[in-house]
Amino acid sequence: MAGIPISTHSEHHAPSGSQNTRFALGSLTTLFFMWGFITCLNDILIPYLKAMFSLSYTQAMLIQFCFFSAYFIVSLPAGRLIGKLGFQRGIVLGLIIAGIGCTLFYPAAALKQYSLFLGALFVLASGITILQVSANPFVSILGDSKTASSRLTMTQAFNSLGTTVAPMFGSTMILSAGISASDGRADQSSVQTAYLILAGTLFILAVIFSLLKLPTLNAAQPNTEHSTQENRFEVLQYKHLSLGAIALFLYVGAEVSIGSFLINYIGLDNIAALEEAEAAHLIAYFWGGAMVGRFIGAAVMQKVNAAHVLVFNALAGSALLLFAMLGNGESAMWAMLLIGLCNSIMFPTIFSLAINSLKQLTSQGSGILCLAIVGGAILPLLQGVLADAIGLQHSFILPLLCFLYIAYYGLKGTTAQKFSRFTK
């Protein structure tokens, strides 16, 4: 999943030295890669912990619930914290907290306590959230405001690269080494080693970023007439923003749900019947499709209305999901993997359509949309309940319904207007 887009209204620009700016951007791209890598590892962690603790699908989806609930809980306090610390110190703090979260996997695995794994995931995700709240606006204001979108697109491409590479690392380090073919049980040492490597990498990055001479830019929150508690949610009167927040909630939930269940889906006897480690390698096609599709979509939307592209991708994703739900064999498997290509443009497109024409309320609208990322915590849990009740393959009816709503939003919900009761 792409990083959280944060709307900024800073008047500050990067120092005139383009070499210094390029160095800063190059440094920041490593962060986008890392949090994409770590987030995607949850898709590997789910079948691993499901085997270790003999979990139901519902219980296994608590992994995503704990991870993505951190976005909802930590995002707003993190924004205030970064306003006091500044971007660079915020990045260092986020890296340290994320590193501590990875380190906590060691005692969780040693004690074989699922609740400790969930706690470690929440700490890890809290660090990632602080990292995103620091790095996204830093990239946005690190140069000319006219090219802010292109800078974010470039850095978020490295986020997609991280999600593409992570399944290969996870399948080798965690699943291949950690799940016994004889009884399907998981060995805790493999997850300990993998997350200690990640912890070490994050701590090294924290040291590096504490020593780098990055441009000093103002991270203070803008003071506007619309920043009071009283009218914080005034922006919800705009139909395209409110419907867009629902669309983003459903999209993030659908994307995370599909990624979370992919390994188990591919392992079904009537689909491909692959072992977890083999199936994990194929997830790279799902996330790689999202990366490729982002570049294709960016080019297409230079010529085609963004809402129309959103409708096309949502309907194509719906058709692929329906085929994957009702079909069998490798054709159904590839249909599911191709959904990554459809996902590619949805997050940034919904986000940009939803904040269109909000003017001075743009920052409030961005905040509402960032909170909608909590869909990644709630919808996978609901699909887990469905999978336990009606079977895994048919449980994909939930993301299918999400995609159909997104198509409706692209068709009918993107016009910038207020709800009728506000226009009388």
Tell me which residue of 296, 297, 242, 280 sits closest to 415, measured CA to CA: 242
Arithmetic mean of pLDDT, 64-84 = 89
Query: What is each CA distance from 416 to 203, 242, 348, 412, in whole angstroms?
Result: 45, 11, 17, 11
- Would residue 6 count as lying in a domain? no
Calpha distance 173→282 (Å, rounded): 16
Question: What average pLDDT does this structure show over 49-72?
Answer: 94
CATH number of the domain to which 394 belongs: 1.20.1250.20
387 and 285 housed in the same domain: yes
4, part of any domain: no
Average pLDDT over residues 44-67: 94
Asked if residue 261 is part of any domain, the answer here is yes
The pLDDT of residue 15 is 46
Same domain for 190 and 258 = no
> Interhelix angle for 148-170 vs 114-141, to 10°?
150
For residues 194 and 270, state if they share a domain. Answer: no
Q: Which residues contact 182 (CB under 8 A, 6 or more apart)?
A: none
**116 and 252 co-located in one domain:** no
Residue ending a domain, among 217, 248, 264, is 217
pLDDT > 70: percent of the chain? 83
pLDDT for residue 223: 43
**Angstrom distances, CA of residue 218 to CA of 85, 88, 241:** 10, 11, 28
The overall average pLDDT reported for the chain is 85
Lowest mean pLDDT among 177-186, 201-210, 372-381: 177-186
Measured distance CA(182)–CA(359) in Å, rounded = 61
Given a contact cutoff of 8 angstroms between Cβ atoms, the answer to whether 292 and 160 are in contact is no
Closest to 233 in 3D by CA, of 365, 373, 353:
365
Distances 331 to 167, 177, 313, 328 between C-alpha atoms, Å: 21, 29, 19, 7
pLDDT of res. 224: 40
Domains of the chain: total:
2
Q: By the 8 A CB rule, do 25 and 155 touch?
A: yes
- The reply to whether 200 and 317 lie within a common domain is no
Q: 209 vs 19, which has greater pLDDT?
A: 209
CA distance 146 to 302: 16
Q: Is residue 11 part of a domain?
A: no
pLDDT at 181 over 70: no
> What residues make up the domain containing 347?
230-424
Specify whether 312 is located in the same domain as 383.
Answer: yes
Distance of CA 8 to the CA centre of its chain: 20
pLDDT at 230 over 50: no
Distances (CA, A) of 200 to 101, 103, 118, 159, 194: 11, 9, 20, 20, 10
Sequence-distant (≥ 6) Cβ neighbours of residue 346 within 8 angstroms: 251, 255, 310, 313, 314, 406
Q: What is the pLDDT of residue 151?
A: 64
pTM: 0.85
**Among 217, 251, 274, residue at a domain's last position:** 217
260-302 pLDDT per residue, tens: 999 999 999 999 999 988 899 899 999 999 888 888 887 888 8
Evaluate if residue 320 carries a pLDDT over 70.
yes
* Average pLDDT of the segment spanning 42-68: 94
pLDDT band at residue 337, thresholds of 50, 70 and 90? very high
Least confident of 9-18, 130-139, 337-346: 9-18
Q: Is there a single domain that holds both residue 137 and residue 238? A: no
